[in-house]
Structure 1
Amino acid sequence: MTMFARRVETFGTTIFTEINVLAQQYNALNLGQGKPDFDTPADIVAELVRAAQSGQHNQYAPGPGIASLRHAVAEHAARFYGLDIDPDRGVIVTAGATEGLLSCMLGLVNPGDEVIVIEPFYDSYVPNILMAGGTPVFVPLHPPTWTFDPDELRAAFSARTRVLILNSPHNPTGRVFTREELSLIAELCIEHNVIVINDEVYEHLTLGGSSYLPIATLPGMFERTVTVSSSGKTFSATGWKIGWAYGHPAVLDGVARAHQFTIFAVHHPSQEAVAYALRQPDSYYQEFQAMYEAKKRLLMSSLEGSGLSYRAPEGTYFIMADFSPVFDGMPRDFTHHLIKEIGVACIPPESMYSQEHVHIGRNYVRFSFCKSDEALLQAKPLLARLAR
């Protein structure tokens, strides 16, 4: 007799766990998981310590999140995007973006509803949809430009479509969707009365002069968009697991109802520190982008001469590289070869595709450059061995 429920029978070990274990086993340079190998800024860490030692923030936080963080999220949305968010009814603090996304699915999707997913996708999207009883409908991005076909997008909508998940800047491709692309998505969502769950965790990681445009700012979209983000990427604090969802109170209500019975409340002292972090001056965000521009160039330099081909990312801290010039096989095969024979770890994207479309990404793997400069430089002579 199997001991697990049917809803989880297709859920295996995540690819990130698999690759991290293998990289450790072979002592490989890990350019796989999007986990910085450098620390959160010292003043933000000091604020966490202060909160924990104050004697006032070590018990349950309010379920929707502490007032100071909810106000900081609303101020941040107004400051960067001109959005008017109600901090009391329009913001929920979550256990990272991942729990925020699950609460969105549980609170907005009914059994039998269809959810449009743009491929390749962050690996929790589809399990979340399935746990909510929904049906994923896939729209692929096509390499090497990683753009969607407008006709394929239109065809994905039906009378059963309830939600579309949008991620921009996009993990793993590094695309930042244009106003034209977002306007088509918005037009179709309005026409079919569809809610958008907008995953913007890389909102401050735009590169090469690209600009991030939240879909909630487009006409008619604020009332039908839940925006999910987190502190993990912007403040190099992935271990804190402090995220948030915001939007119009009417569309956020279902998310709040689910959130209160999944996690209820998240780590109190960390919320105090993230409220402080979100109010960093403009110079912080400018220096953050400049740091990643430099890291992007280091990884691109290390990829030169390796035989791998790639397109410079417009956002995130990932580069998708085509390995077909140097290896004949599937991405997971190449990843194992790279770890065992070359000494570098990356992420194969098979788990980020439906079975129907996995062939589209069959020549690609994802490298992460949220690593120390030393690690990115160390990759160059290792990757050069591929070409030889």
Structure 2
Amino acid sequence: MPVFSAPLVSRLPTVGTTIFTRMSQLAQTCGAINLSQGFPDFSAEDVLFERVAHWMRAGFNQYAPMAGMPALRDAIATKVHALYGAHYDPGAEITVTAGATQALFTAVAALVHPGDEVIVFEPVYDSYVPAIELQGGVVRRVRLGAPEYRPDWAALRALITPRTRMIMINTPHNPTGAVWSAADMIELAAVTRGTGIVVVADEVYEHIVFDGARHESAARDPELAARSVIVSSFGKTYHVTGWKVGYVLAPQALMDEFRKVHQFNVFTVNAPVQLALADYMAEPSRHLALAAFYQAKRDAFRAGLAATHFELLPCAGTYFQTVRYAAVSDLPDLAFVEWLTREVGVAAIPLSAFFGDGRDEGVIRFCFAKQEATLAEACERLARFC
């Protein structure tokens, strides 16, 4: 095998294989139930697959338009207006992306210059910081405090400087399951008012909000919408994470910049899947029923965990449940999830992976986007050992 021997300076010297890949690999090696990485172990409806096959057979197998198939952008515009009362021009203000991670990376690449400061809330999803650092941006962190993981607005205000270019938010929040309120969005609008700060709103779990609450999208508030790049995910909504299709909403001035990068970063997303998603979106119940679907799983999983010594933290949205394990073990959180995987047969994610300094609060995250039988077996194993 050839060996590269020239000096090499890494652009991301502290980054290795993600915790999600590591834990999924360990789960596979150990034959453990994988409640670590956030993907379902069940399938989408057959009708969605049939629509993909239909459009493939109909000949839509070449490049789609750079911004996305018009039919899908129209369907997104219709959904967003129905849910949030916001009008986005499908031609100029909506772009289909190769998943949400690409959308987030492209937004940062398009709008952050070297030396710009970007504020993130931690625990923070692992793709945000590398995207910022690759553009020469400076990461500023606001800590979300357990167990509610609410934003600290005084702490955020203290971080704002003339160099602040962007604030990245995530609601419903991965990994904690916290959901921002209308009051939080009012605070965000107040903090950014009169500034040139861009908000990147990661809303990939927008349809998974529990207990009758509503998702407070940045699109609901015209003031916030005017400065926001909003990201969502068909993979999360329709149980097809491997398709890697998402979308972005933004006012035209921001979208023009986004598309400049998008066209070279990805260019376009496969055509038949886009057309199938447009067809599938014609029935709104397919996304409107998602909250009840996952709330039933959340409630069943929490009921099963009641037989353990875990302390269950609040879960207001997403398909993740966080727990404290102090009554079970005094191991560091990474060592504890490795023990869980090897000895108990259930894989989870340590929350320290979401902190820049590896802060260990004795909290781990389970994914309950699984079949009922999978969750029941996981709870039985955990109850025997924990």
Same fold (TM over 0.5): yes
Aligned 1:1-388 pairs, distance under 5 A: 5-55=9-59, 57-281=60-284, 283-355=285-357, 358-359=358-359, 361-387=360-386
Q: Is the 1:197–1:227 Cα contact (8 Å) retained in structure 2?
A: yes
Q: How far does the alpha carbon of each residue in 1:164-197 deviate from its partner, in whole angstroms, 9 at most, with x for none?
A: 0111111111111011112111211124321000
Q: Give SS of 1:173's match.
A: coil
**Following the alignment from structure 1 to structure 2, what is the Cα–Cα distance between the partners of residues 197 and 103?**
11
Letter in 2 for 1:36: P
Q: Is the 2:148–2:314 Cα contact (8 Å) retained in structure 1?
A: no
Letter in 2 for 1:51: W
1:335 CA displacement = 0.4
Moved over 3 A (4+): 1-5
**Following the alignment from structure 2 to structure 1, what is the Cα–Cα distance between the partners of residues 288 and 222?**
28
Q: Give SS of 2:144's match.
A: strand
**Following the alignment from structure 1 to structure 2, what is the Cα–Cα distance between the partners of residues 157 and 181?**
17
Q: For structure 1, which runs of at least 5 residues remain unmatched after alignment?
A: none
**Following the alignment from structure 1 to structure 2, what is the Cα–Cα distance between the partners of residues 307 and 2?**
53
Q: Is the 2:100–2:246 Cα contact (8 Å) retained in structure 1?
A: yes
Cα gap change, 1:5/1:210 in structure 2, threshold over 3 Å: closer, same or farther? farther
**Following the alignment from structure 1 to structure 2, what is the Cα–Cα distance between the partners of residues 115 and 2?**
33
**Following the alignment from structure 2 to structure 1, what is the Cα–Cα distance between the partners of residues 220 and 9?**
40
Q: How far does the alpha carbon of each residue in 1:102-140 deviate from its partner, in whole angstroms, 9 at most, with x for none?
A: 110010111110111011111111111111111111011
**Following the alignment from structure 1 to structure 2, what is the Cα–Cα distance between the partners of residues 91 and 221?**
16
Which shows bigger deviation, 209-218 or 262-271? 209-218
Q: Is the 1:307–1:386 Cα contact (8 Å) retained in structure 2?
A: no
Q: Give SS of 1:8's match.
A: coil
**Following the alignment from structure 2 to structure 1, what is the Cα–Cα distance between the partners of residues 36 and 101?**
19
**Following the alignment from structure 2 to structure 1, what is the Cα–Cα distance between the partners of residues 145 and 235?**
28
Q: How far does the alpha carbon of each residue in 1:263-313 deviate from its partner, in whole angstroms, 9 at most, with x for none?
A: 1111111111111222223x3334322221111012102211211111231
**Following the alignment from structure 1 to structure 2, what is the Cα–Cα distance between the partners of residues 112 and 300?**
44
TM-score (normalised: structure 1): 0.95
**Following the alignment from structure 1 to structure 2, what is the Cα–Cα distance between the partners of residues 210 and 86?**
28
**Following the alignment from structure 2 to structure 1, what is the Cα–Cα distance between the partners of residues 309 and 6?**
46
Structure 1 vs Structure 2 CA RMSD: 1.4
**Following the alignment from structure 1 to structure 2, what is the Cα–Cα distance between the partners of residues 291 and 168?**
19
Q: Once the two structures are aligned, what percentage of the paired residues are identical? A: 38
